[in-house]
Amino acid sequence: MTYPVRVFFVGGLLSYRALFTWLTPWILIPTFLVAPIFQILLFAYIGRSANLQSDEFYVVGNALQYTSLPCLFAMANMLGDERWSQTLGILLSSPASRLALFLGRSLPVILNGALVGAFGFVAGSLILDVHVPASAFAPLALVILVTAVSCTGLGLVNGAIGLRVRESAVSSNILFGFLLVMCGVNVPLDELPGWMEAISSVLPLTHGIEAARELADGASLGDVSGLVATELGIGVVWAVIGCSLLRFLEVEARRRATLESS
Amino acid sequence: MRNALRIFGAGWWMNMKQLTQSPLFVFTSLIEPLIMATIAFYTAKAGGKPEALFYLAIGAGVMGIWSSTLFGSGGVISWQRWEGTLELLVASPPPLIVIVVPLTIATSSIGIYSLTATLLWGRFLFGIPFDLAHPWLFAVGLPIAVVAMGLLGLLIASTFVLYREANALSNMLEFPIALVTGLLFATSLLPGWTRPIGWLLAPTWAARVIRESALGGNPLFEIAMCVILSGVYLVLASHFLRVLEVRARAKATLALA
């Protein structure tokens, strides 16, 4: 196995496992499986109270929004945890390819995000009795995966912020809440002010959620291919920004000798 | 008694100062309620129910108090463990409950920021009028509601002594409790079997105390429920803390749990 490939796969997997402190994988259950169900239920009931949208609207919106939780938090925590365990300096002084290093850490996170979104969607649909045509299952799985990729792009930017600020959990929480408000998760985009709608068009999730809602309403993958491609494109742009920012802030931190102290 | 009051005062004030230094805690108590309030406001406006905005502003504020309490109480034992002070606190002469009560009440007290921030957010960004129907009942009921939520936090914290990753559990409880207590919608929409669960939880009565004193109504029954539940939580938490503390010490897992 060549070095960059090894760094990509093995390094990414080890870093992902370290997120759960090695010995306590059970914390996956409340964080990734229970919490999304209750977010879906809470907003579905708020929606019912206001007579605004169907349960399907909230199941799709919140399940897909929850894909962003691992994508945002894990990407920032991976670097934060390296600093915490005093290995960040060693990691960044190694000659390993930075692209393999950071993108390798993204791969398990993308899969995690997609699984969380898919679980939330299935569980939410079963609990709230939302019916989706069977023909939509495979395209929906694809849309959830693409949305996880796109959220991980934003997660890379968040990870880069973690090189500069110490409490990356704050930026992760802010971004998670920002996506919840801005991306049409619980309020239709045309009910939001124009400036919020404009911002939402360059954020991950927005087009993925729109595509998933159309699929759940019976559209085919071909009908939503433009939305899916836009979602993927937005994710790639955020990933490029994230990798560039990571490189820039790494150089800055080395120049200022602030890698461990920021 | 005098010593207990001194410990309460010192613990409450120290934890208030510590929590306000934490950016993550400030986020939880200030930004998160505004996010919830914004979504609730736009949902109500889009659904053609602008009259519900003040009701929702209060609900989002109480949810902020609850989030601060839950996050702070869930972490209160873990943070002492990480800082290496848990063993010292357990070994000190006062009962552990006397030490932990002010810490959890401090977390819910910080939540008053959430209520204030949410009401100001609603006032200045969404033009929601802030007129209190019963200002005196509001002034009396708010601290009672905050203490009741803090003591529910204590009950939760007392059961988390044995778990190292208590924060994951406490984070998980935020939305379920907001759901069954109807902080952002009427509980009549929920299945009937969930309502008795809500009656056992302080946020149900705390939200009603604040809503009825702000919007009009008689919150005396709700205030009494907050007081009764506070007593029940205190007794249960005291029992759990004693049992779990002994168990953790016997198994030598206090620092490692």
DSSP state of B51: G
Cβ B143 vs Cβ B50: under 8 Å: no
Chain B contact for A86 (CB, 8 A cutoff)? no
What are the tokens at A96? 């390993």
Residue B177 lies in a domain: yes
Residues of A in contact with B168 (CB under 8 A): 27, 30-31
The pLDDT tens digits of the residues spanning B215-231 come to 888 899 999 999 999 99
Return the residue matching tokens 């409450």: B12
B69 class by beta-carbon count within 10 Å (0-12 exposed, 13-18 middle, 19+ buried): buried
What is the C-alpha to C-alpha distance for residues B39 and B27, in angstroms, rounded to an integer? 17
What are the tokens at A79? 């670097």
pLDDT recorded at residue B163: 65
pLDDT recorded at residue B21: 84
What is the C-alpha to C-alpha distance for residues B91 and A248, in angstroms, rounded to an integer? 49
- Of all residues in chain B, the one with the smallest CA distance to A46 is B185
Residues of A in contact with B35 (CB under 8 A): 177-178, 180-181
Residue B255 lies in a domain: no
Cβ B154 vs Cβ B76: under 8 Å: no
Nearest to B153 by CA among B101, B195, B200, B113: B101
Cβ A186 vs Cβ B38: under 8 Å: no
What is the C-alpha to C-alpha distance for residues B213 and B190, in angstroms, rounded to an integer? 24
Evaluate if residue B257 carries a pLDDT over 60. no
Across B20-49, average pLDDT: 85
- Of all residues in chain B, the one with the smallest CA distance to A192 is B42
Cβ A26 vs Cβ A174: under 8 Å: no
Evaluate if residue A106 carries a pLDDT over 80. yes
Nearest to A153 by CA among A217, A47, A230: A230
Interface ipTM > 0.95: no
Across A113-133, average pLDDT: 96
The pLDDT tens digits of the residues spanning B59-93 come to 999 998 998 888 888 778 777 877 888 888 888 88
A134 class by beta-carbon count within 10 Å (0-12 exposed, 13-18 middle, 19+ buried): exposed
Cβ A155 vs Cβ A98: under 8 Å: no
Angle between helices A35-50 and B166-180 (to 10 degrees): 20
Which residue would you say has higher pLDDT here, A99 or B105? Answer: B105
Chain B contact for A23 (CB, 8 A cutoff)? no
What is the C-alpha to C-alpha distance for residues B257 and B248, in angstroms, rounded to an integer? 8
Residue B202 lies in a domain: yes
Q: Which domain holds residue B66?
A: 2-250
- How distant is the Cα of A97 from the closest Cα of chain B, in angstroms? 33
Query: Looking at the partner chain, which of B28, B31, B47 has a beta carbon nearest the beta carbon of A52?
Result: B47
Confidence of residue A128 (pLDDT cuts 50, 70, 90): very high
B80 CB neighbour count, 10 Å cutoff: 19
The pLDDT tens digits of the residues spanning A196-206 come to 999 999 999 99
Query: Looking at the partner chain, which of A31, A42, A187 has a beta carbon nearest the beta carbon of B172?
Result: A31
**Cβ pair B179:A42 closer than 8 A:** yes
Confidence of residue B26 (pLDDT cuts 50, 70, 90): confident
Where does chain A have alpha helices with state H?
3-6, 12-19, 28, 35-50, 55-66, 68-84, 88-93, 98-128, 137-164, 168-182, 194-200, 206-216, 225-256
Query: Looking at the partner chain, which of B38, B47, B164 has a beta carbon nearest the beta carbon of A50?
Result: B47
In sequence order, what are the residues at sequence separation of 6 or more whose Cβ sits closer than 8 angstroms to the Cβ of residue B205?
A: B145, B148, B222, B223, B225, B226, B229
**Cβ pair A48:B185 closer than 8 A:** yes
Query: Looking at the partner chain, which of A49, A181, A188 has a beta carbon nearest the beta carbon of B185?
Result: A49
Give the total residue count for chain A.
262
Size of interface A-B (CB pairs under 8 A): 94
pLDDT recorded at residue B112: 87
Residue B94 lies in a domain: yes
pLDDT recorded at residue A138: 96
Residue B245 lies in a domain: yes
In sequence order, what are the residues at sequence separation of 6 or more whose Cβ sits closer than 8 angstroms to the Cβ of residue B192?
A: none
What is the C-alpha to C-alpha distance for residues A161 and B254, in angstroms, rounded to an integer? 35
Residues of A in contact with B63 (CB under 8 A): none
**Cβ pair B24:A167 closer than 8 A:** yes
Phi and psi of B181, rounded to 5°?
A: -90, -5
Cβ A72 vs Cβ A154: under 8 Å: yes
- Of all residues in chain B, the one with the smallest CA distance to A54 is B47
Residue B256 lies in a domain: no
**Cβ pair B184:A49 closer than 8 A:** yes
Cβ B122 vs Cβ B115: under 8 Å: no
**Cβ pair A51:B175 closer than 8 A:** no
Across A176-180, average pLDDT: 94
Evaluate if residue A227 carries a pLDDT over 60. yes
pLDDT recorded at residue B192: 93
Evaluate if residue A261 carries a pLDDT over 70. no
Helix (H, G, I), strand (E, B) or coil at B165: coil
A84 CB neighbour count, 10 Å cutoff: 11
Residue B217 lies in a domain: yes
The pLDDT tens digits of the residues spanning A40-54 come to 999 999 999 988 889
Residue B135 lies in a domain: yes
What is the C-alpha to C-alpha distance for residues B183 and A46, in angstroms, rounded to an integer? 10
Cβ B109 vs Cβ B149: under 8 Å: no
Phi and psi of B35, rounded to 5°?
A: -65, -50
**Cβ pair A42:B172 closer than 8 A:** no
Confidence of residue B256 (pLDDT cuts 50, 70, 90): low
Across A236-256, average pLDDT: 90
Chain B contact for A31 (CB, 8 A cutoff)? yes
Please give the model's pTM, rounded to 2 decimal places.
Answer: 0.89
What is the number of domains present in chain B?
Answer: 1
Q: What is the share, in percent, of chain A residues with pLDDT greater than 70?
A: 96
In sequence order, what are the residues at sequence separation of 6 or more whose Cβ sits closer than 8 angstroms to the Cβ of residue B193?
A: none
